[in-house]
Amino acid sequence: ETGVTQTPRHLVMGMTNKKSLKCEQHLGHNAMYWYKQSAKKPLELMFVYNFKEQTENNSVPSRFSPECPNSSHLFLHLHTLQPEDSALYLCASSPQPDRGESNYGYTFGSGTRLTVV
Amino acid sequence: DAKTTQPPSMDCAEGRAANLPCNHSTISGNEYVYWYRQIHSQGPQYIIHGLKNNETNEMASLIITEDRKSSTLILPHATLRDTAVYYCIVRGNNDYKLSFGAGTTVTVRA
């Protein structure tokens, strides 16, 4: 257990379904992230939240909709996905860099393995 | 824009030291070198990081050259459970983003 919990661990959904991925951390971190990892590809940063505010959206299609209600929780709402969206979705958190800490190490969750059929 | 260059793969014998190289010739003064690893289908795991001094923790040692243009991660006694993809990442002091490249796939063999 890393301190970042993702649910569900596995999800199979149809292209017309709506589902949500959940991420929770109680490490006192203020930044949270969604990454996508497709088969045999490097991790791709999708969204960044800093103090609940979205600070980065890396040209992610609108069928992915993030939500960060507080610094401890992050959601990724999914709707009308395509089979090519099948991937491992990883959540991570990190401390707030402006505090001058030298270790901005990320803590990752175990991921949600998503299959779109 | 890749900031680091790593070999795509390497093999290592169980019980021996594994030395993983990383080139970061364009590193700037306030950028740290981080190492993460990802065991199959899990989230990446932090290993170690450093600025200019060599660092050691319970998992590994990090050797950074004096000019900071390259570094080596050393796993002192590799085990089969160290088989993973190892990522070398350069990140600035106030940059909260972590960008992953392809990493080095390390296979530890019995």
Please name the residues in contact with B104: beta carbons below 8 A apart, sequence gap of 6 or more: B6, B7, B8, B9, B10, B20, B85, B86, B88
B96 vs A contacts (CB less than 8 Å):
31, 48, 50, 94, 96-97, 104
| Paired tokens of A97 | 């860099």
Amino acid at B33: V
Contacts of A111 in chain B (CB under 8 A): 41-43
d(CA A110, CA A108): 7
Closest residue on chain B to A5 (Cα): B43
Please judge whether A111 and B41 are an interchain contact, meaning their C-beta atoms are less than 8 angstroms apart.
Answer: yes
Strands A44-50 and A53-57, bridge-based pairing? antiparallel
Residue B95: per-residue pLDDT? 75
Q: Residue A111: CA atoms inside 13 Å, Cβ hemisphere, count?
A: 21
List beta partners, residue B92. Answer: B31
- Residues A42, B96 contacting (CB under 8 angstroms): no
Could you give the 3-state DSSP secondary structure of residue A40? coil
Interface contact flag, B98 A102, Cβ < 8 Å: no
Average pLDDT in the B60-80 region? 97
Check pLDDT > 90 for residue B3: no
- Mean pLDDT for chain B? 93
Q: Which of B9, B6, B37 is nearest to B22 (CA)?
A: B6
End-to-end CA distance of chain B: 37
Average pLDDT rounded to a whole number, residues B7-17: 96
| Token pair recorded at residue B78 | 């590799």
CA distance A79 to chain B (A): 24
Of B34, B43, B103, the CB nearest to A108: B43
Nearest CA in chain A to B44: A108
User: What residues in chain B have their Cβ under 8 A from chain A's Cβ atoms?
Assistant: 32, 34, 36, 41-46, 49, 51, 91, 93-103
Residues B7-24 have a mean pLDDT of 97
Q: With CA atoms as reference, report the closest residue to A89 among A41, A38, A51.
A: A38
Peptide bond into B8 cis (omega under 30): no
- Give residues 89 to 108 of A whose Cβ lies within 8 Å of B: 90, 92, 94, 96-98, 100, 102-108
Residues of B in contact with A33 (CB under 8 A): 98
The whole-number pLDDT of residue A103 equals: 60
- Confidence at residue A95, expressed as pLDDT on a 0 to 100 scale: 85
Assign A31 to helix, strand or coil. strand
pLDDT 10s digits, A41-90: 889 999 999 888 888 888 999 999 999 999 899 999 999 999 999 999 99
Using an 8 Å Cβ cutoff, are B49 and A105 in contact?
A: yes
